[in-house]
Amino acid sequence: MNNNTVIRKAVIPAAGLGTRMLPISRAVPKEMLPIVDKPAISYLVEECAQSGITEVLIITGRNKNAMEDYFDYSPEYEASFVKKGKPQMIEEMRESANFGGVRVYFMRQKETKGLGHAIGCARNFIGNEPFAVLYGDDIIFSDSKPVTAQLIDSYHRYGRAVCGVKKVPHEMIKKYCSLKAELIPGSETEYFVDDMIEKPQRDEDAFSDLSILGRVLLPPEIFDIIDVTAPGAGNEIQITDAIATLARSVGVTALDYDGERFDLGSKLGLMCANVKRAAVNGEIGDDFRAFLKDFVKTL
Ligand code: UTP
């Protein structure tokens, strides 16, 4: 039941209010918070480009225009490079705004009715093909393959929707979703899933400690399911509830992906991601590691 459909499109829901990142999120979208010198959204579009995706739709909301500016050219900087006699910098700047030719589109979610609703806004953009979803505040670094590419491989193996998953500490599962999952014979990282629950509040409601973290690959049938999915946890239309319907009818695959995930929607996640990336950054890595070594002695 493998499926060779080429995955060309991705959706990045980035319209959430970012209440956990207040007060900065009053003025700066959390997806624009920097990891060293690039905003989170930049890493996500790079991951799409490296995974063979050519069309990306970013779902945005009010007060989030900074994201669109980031993907535009910058005439003011270009003029200043001309003045300073550094025209080659213009090419570099334009190159960095092009993301290897990936076309980036924007659409507003007019009301923040939940992640499921945000994904539902992409129906016309997606049409009738499977697509990847990269949660706008989840950055995942992988030394092997970009995580979206790992999900695409899994889709090609089994022809089913794929959820990128990780084990979360048992006491935390009530803040995440919980999957009813069984290892696929012969695999150590892929599971067959036939049910799941969002934010199980009672211990006995949780199926396992496996939770969807940051990435899914969905068939276009998900849009009809989202349309009839009632608001769930937090009174929001939850994508987990829609994927659960899919899991119960045809089953989905869960892939325990190779990668380190940072929740940029939380203060701790933002700081950890910055320390990790700064330590290996070509420009500041040496100095930053020296600073860190001194600093940890004071802890
Ligand atoms: P989160 O629940 O982590 O984002 O959603 P949030 O609602 O901004 O979080 P709080 O306010 O700190 O609790 C996961 C992803 O889905 C997007 C968010 O932007 C985030 O990238 N999202 C969420 C939407 O696009 N629309 C929504 O209505 C809700």
Give strand pairing partners of 163: 216, 254
pLDDT at 296: 95
pLDDT at 2: 67
Q: For the chain, give me the number of helices (H) and strands (E)? A: 11, 13
Contact (CB, 8 A) for 248 and 195: yes
State pLDDT tens for residues 202-261.
989 999 999 999 999 999 999 999 999 999 998 999 999 999 999 999 999 999 999 999
State pLDDT tens for residues 101-142.
899 999 999 999 999 999 999 999 999 999 999 999 999 999
Angstrom distance (rounded) from CA 200 to CA 38: 35
Give the distance (Å) from ligand 1 centre to CA of residue 20.
Answer: 10
Question: Angle at CA 218, nearest 5°, toward 208 and 191?
Answer: 35
> Ligand 1: does its nearest atom lie under 6 Å from the Cβ of 139?
no
Contact (CB, 8 A) for 146 and 257: no
> Ligand 1: does its nearest atom lie under 6 Å from the Cβ of 120?
no
Amino acid code (one letter) for 277: R
Give the distance (Å) from ligand 1 centre to CA of residue 136.
Answer: 8
pLDDT at 81: 84
Confidence of residue 95 (pLDDT cuts 50, 70, 90): confident
Characterize 71-94 residue by residue with b for buried, 16 or more Cβ atoms within 10 angstroms of its Cβ, and e for exposed.
beebeeebeebeeeeeeeebeeee
Mean pLDDT, residues 136-165 taken together: 96
Q: Looking at the predicted structure, is the pLDDT value of residue 96 above 90? A: no
Positive or negative CA dihedral for 159, 164, 166, 171?
Answer: negative
Question: Could you tell me the pTM of the whole model?
Answer: 0.95
Characterize 34-60 residue by residue with b for buried, 16 or more Cβ atoms within 10 angstroms of its Cβ, and e for exposed.
ebbeebbbbbbbebbbbbebebbbbbb
Give the distance (Å) from ligand 1 centre to CA of residue 13.
Answer: 8
